[in-house]
């Protein structure tokens, strides 16, 4: 079933379908004026309002990924800190501080022009989520990685955890491949 918080289309469809009965009631009761037509209008406003006001788990996770992309492009690690879980451990980085230090080393001088998502697969459970994503990283010519080419294909695997405050954070992050060559955090420099 369609989630009314995920997108407004269910309530917009009901609003469109309710125009016919509202028009019939309006013709049967002319003394009511335009009041019957307020019902479809209110349903449409409710659909759009719920979509804008409520951020679902899926939308929160996608917002985290977009925030990480912005942090990489701007080389602004202060954007990464809030979205990483405090008990962080991916096997290579034993803490959030180690991950941020590694990210600073990798992103310093990276000069990323843009990051485009090719494929995102999200598996969402009650309090955990996994995401596999393939990205295309476009580098500026002055990037320290420009010797490898102006475009780099990066595949990542992310695990998210829902905190007690009902906010999501990244619990584990792993590099699966770079330019279709299997790799891991130890090889990323």
User: Does residue 66 form part of some domain?
Assistant: no
85 and 176 share one domain: yes
Q: Flag whether pLDDT at 158 surpasses 90.
A: yes
Gap between the Cα atoms of 172 and 159, Å rounded? 5
- Taking residues 114-127, report their average pLDDT: 93
Same domain, yes or no: 90 and 179: yes
Which tens digits make up the pLDDT trace of 76-95? 888 998 999 988 888 888 88
Q: Please, how many CA atoms are within 13 Å of residue 155, restricted to the half-sphere of its CB?
A: 12
Transcribe 41-106 into DSSP letters. HHHHHHHHHHHHH---HHHHHHHHHHHHHHHHHHT-GGGTGGGB-SS---SS--SHHHHHHHHHHH
pLDDT at 178 over 60: yes
Calpha distance 160→52 (Å, rounded): 23
Q: What is the pLDDT of residue 10?
A: 83
pTM: 0.80
121 bridge partner residues: 132
* Digit-coded pLDDT (tens) for 19-67: 999 999 999 998 988 899 999 999 989 888 888 888 888 999 999 999 9
Selected residue with higher pLDDT from 139 and 149: 139
83 shares a domain with 173: yes
Task: Read off φ and ψ for residue 166, nearest 5 degrees.
Answer: 65, 20
Residues 121 and 176 in one domain: yes
- Contact between 103 and 80 under an 8 Å Cβ cutoff? The reply is yes
What's the domain range around 162?
Answer: 79-187
């Amino acid at each position: 079933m369609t989630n009314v918080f995920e997108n407004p289309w269910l309530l917009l469809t009901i609003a469109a379908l309710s125009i016919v009965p509202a028009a019939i009631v309006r013709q049967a009761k002319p003394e009511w004026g335009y009041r019957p037509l307020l019902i479809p209008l209110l349903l449409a406003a409710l659909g759009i309002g719920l979509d804008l006001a409520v951020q679902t788990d899926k939308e929160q996770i996608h917002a985290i990924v977009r925030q990480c992309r912005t942090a990489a492009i701007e080389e602004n690690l202060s954007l990464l800190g809030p979205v990483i879980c405090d008990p962080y451990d991916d096997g290579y980085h034993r803490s959030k501080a180690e991950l941020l230090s590694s990210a600073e080393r990798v992103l310093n001088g990276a000069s990323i022009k843009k990051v485009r998502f090719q494929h995102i697969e999200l598996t969402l459970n009650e309090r955990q989520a996994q995401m596999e994503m393939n990205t295309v990283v476009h580098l500026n010519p002055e990037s320290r990685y420009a010797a490898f080419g102006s475009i780099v294909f990066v595949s990542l695997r992310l695990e998210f955890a829902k905190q007690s405050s009902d906010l999501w954070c990244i619990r584990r992050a792993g590099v699966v491949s770079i330019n279709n060559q299997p790799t891991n955090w130890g090889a990323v420099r």
